[in-house]
Amino acid sequence: MKKTRNVLVDADACPNQIKKAILEISNFYEYKVFFIASYCHATDQHRNADWIMVDAEPESVDIYIVNQSIEGNVVITQDHGLASLLVSKGVYAISPRGKRFTEEEMPSLLQSRYYSSKLRRSGHRTKGPPRFTEEDARRFRQNFELILSQG
């Protein structure tokens, strides 16, 4: 039986240049791409792609992706919580900056995420991610292509 060759993209916070790279590389390796976004993030960009719109409720995109992902799929997300659920299912998870998530690092990533959230809830400001760079885009293309070429 042939493996399902799907790429699911947490599209709400994915930069447009990465969406374009996802389509280009996925097409070359014959993977089907699905952009999943909430209705409040609807866009007319990348009309040639399959878009799945979900409720605007918090975590709706994440819940959809977890429920639809199967072993061997590739998911692009910057959400560490979502990535932790996926890698345990045998799904490849990679961030738009090209970081490939692994099951071994999940405990420390989730702990860091928890402490940052706790600080924010207590009124402290935490730094957001650094500005997206061309180096991030290059790293994404390289690592995403590596994942798809091995599939």
**1 is a domain residue:** no
Query: What pLDDT, on a 0 to 100 scale, did the predictor assign at position 105?
Result: 77
**66 is a domain residue:** yes
What single string gives the DSSP state of each residue in 32-75?
EEEEEEEGGG---S-TTSEEEEE-SSTTHHHHHHHHH--TT-EE
Q: Which residue has the tokens 């061997």?
A: 72
Tokens of 38: 């909430």
The pLDDT-based confidence of 127 (bands split at 50, 70, 90) is confident
Once rounded to an integer, what is the mean pLDDT over residues 95-107? 86
Task: Look at residues 42, 43, 35 and name the one whose alpha carbon lies nearest to residue 11.
Answer: 35
**131 is a domain residue:** yes
Give the integer Cα–Cα distance in Å for 29 and 145: 9
Read off the pLDDT of residues 13-57 as tens digits, 9 standing for 90 and up: 899 999 999 999 999 999 999 999 987 766 666 566 799 999 988
**63 is a domain residue:** yes
pTM of the model: 0.84
**102 is a domain residue:** yes
Higher-pLDDT residue of 147 and 111 is: 147
Higher-pLDDT residue of 130 and 87 is: 87
94 with 114: CB under 8 angstroms? no
Give the integer Cα–Cα distance in Å for 61 and 128: 21
Number of domains the chain contains: 1
Q: Quote the domain boundaries for residue 131.
A: 6-150
Once rounded to an integer, what is the mean pLDDT over residues 124-137? 85
Query: What pLDDT, on a 0 to 100 scale, did the predictor assign at position 106?
Result: 64
CATH code of the domain containing 46 = 3.40.50
Residue 1 has pLDDT above 60, yes or no: no
